[in-house]
């Protein structure tokens, strides 16, 4: 495999078409999904020369993950639909590649087992846990405690889902439940008697910043607020104690009219004024994409679907290959841009002029 597109094509051939469409699809007409990729295609890098860019350093300090790689595994659901080992394979691969793993609340392996798998490869591996604030505070608190007990070093609170997005591909296939033998393992045995089904993950438009405050007051873990697109919300997240924000449109799976994440990143980064880091996911497929995002204001980027394609195509080895190729491609791009460290990727290196 030489590119993310190669991995996706091999995954498409390996997966049940229902599950491929679940992973690949977006909300509505999938315009937000396409916009993420197009935003990177419209930008180019202006390299600097004769700057003695050797050796290079790709380390970045993130909440609960000092000195880590700037490429993260974004939270995605139901990895066992892609491969029998599911999130266990993903966790081992992320640890081996030196990347922070964000394990999804809708994982098909419990966070305790996911974290143990990562630490079995690297005892210092950083594992974050993604959660949705639940209408019943006791459920949110229980999930946060489980993450802390598992040794997670941050919580990634996804805030862009007051209701579920509408996915046309899933509706056409009639895909609403997991097959027999699979469950959302983090949702088992919670207050209220959850059985671990996808529908046990509740959304509510009544949730507010007060609910984030409550979680912050009830956990010692740093909180990354994921799903920020508006600069005003970025400022609010910082004011409410977030350790970082992630600029994300949920991979195009929520509001189909949402902008590409890369397009709004500069305004969000300006609103934060370096008080806390801005992270980004959505549309990252190449090392040059990572470099463009870092130059545009991100401290690190997350990748979601490419990890799933590697997992479906070749299990743990596939995920590790996807992540290591991205990291190596970033290093190569940094060298070609005349940079020694990530701070050398600055806004003046980014120009427009690619295809729309």
* pLDDT tens for the chain, residues 1 to 356: 678 889 999 999 999 999 999 999 999 999 999 999 999 999 999 999 999 888 999 999 999 999 999 999 999 999 999 999 999 999 999 999 999 999 999 999 999 999 999 999 999 999 999 999 999 999 999 999 999 999 999 999 999 999 999 999 999 999 989 999 999 999 999 998 777 888 889 889 999 999 999 999 999 999 999 999 999 999 999 999 999 999 999 999 999 999 999 999 999 999 999 899 999 999 999 999 999 999 999 999 999 999 999 999 999 999 999 999 999 999 999 999 999 999 999 999 999 976 66
The whole-model pTM stands at 0.96
CA angle 10, 314, 13 (to 5 degrees): 25
Alpha carbon distance 195, 183 (integer Å): 8
Residue partners of 230: CB distance under 8 A and separation at least 6: 264, 268
d(CA 196, CA 42): 42
Catalytic pick among 79, 250, 286, 332: 250
Buried b (16+ CB within 10 A) or exposed e, 266-304: bbbbebbeeebbbbbbbbbbbbbbbbbbbbbbbbbbbbb
- Alpha carbons 233 and 109: distance in angstroms, whole number: 32
Look up tokens 């046309």; give the residue.
Answer: 168
Ordered by start, the domain boundaries in the chain are 4-351
What's the CATH code, domain 4-351? 3.20.20.70
Whether 250 is a known active-site residue: answer yes
């Amino acid at each position: 495999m030489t590119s993310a597109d190669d991995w996706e094509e091999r995954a498409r051939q390996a997966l049940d078409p229902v599950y491929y469409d679940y992973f690949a699809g977006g909300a509505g007409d999938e315009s937000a999904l396409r916009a993420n990729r197009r935003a990177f295609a419209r930008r180019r890098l202006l390299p600097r020369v004769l700057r003695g860019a050797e050796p290079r350093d790709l380390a970045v300090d993130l909440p609960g993950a000092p000195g880590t790689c700037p490429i993260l595994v974004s939270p995605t659901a139901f990895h066992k639909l892609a491969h029998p080992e599911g999130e266990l394979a993903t966790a081992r691969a992320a640890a081996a590649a030196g990347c922070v793993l964000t394990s999804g609340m809708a994982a098909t392996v419990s966070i305790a087992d996911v974290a143990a798998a990562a630490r079995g490869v690297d005892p210092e591996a950083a594992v974050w846990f993604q959660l949705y604030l639940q209408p019943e505070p006791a459920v949110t608190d229980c999930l946060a405690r489980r993450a802390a007990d598992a040794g997670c070093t941050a919580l990634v609170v996804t805030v862009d889902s007051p209701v579920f997005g509408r996915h046309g591909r899933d509706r056409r296939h009639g895909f609403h439940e997991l097959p027999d033998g699979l469950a959302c393992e983090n949702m088992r045995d919670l207050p209220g008697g959850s059985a671990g089904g996808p529908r046990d993950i509740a959304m509510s438009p009544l949730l507010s910043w007060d609910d984030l405050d409550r979680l912050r007051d009830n956990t010692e873990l740093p909180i990354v607020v994921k799903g920020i697109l508006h600069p005003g919300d970025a400022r609010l997240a910082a004011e409410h104690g977030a350790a970082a924000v992630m600029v994300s449109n949920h991979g195009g799976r929520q509001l189909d009219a949402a902008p590409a994440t890369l397009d709004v990143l500069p305004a969000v980064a300006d609103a934060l004024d370096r008080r806390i880091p801005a992270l980004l996911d959505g549309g990252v497929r190449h090392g040059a994409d990572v470099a463009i995002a870092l130059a545009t204001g991100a401290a690190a980027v997350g990748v979601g679907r490419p990890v799933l394609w590697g997992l479906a195509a070749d299990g743990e080895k596939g995920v590790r290959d996807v992540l290591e190729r991205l990291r190596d491609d970033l290093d190569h791009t940094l060298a070609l841009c005349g940079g020694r460290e990530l701070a050398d990727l600055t806004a003046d290196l980014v120009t427009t002029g690619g295809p729309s």
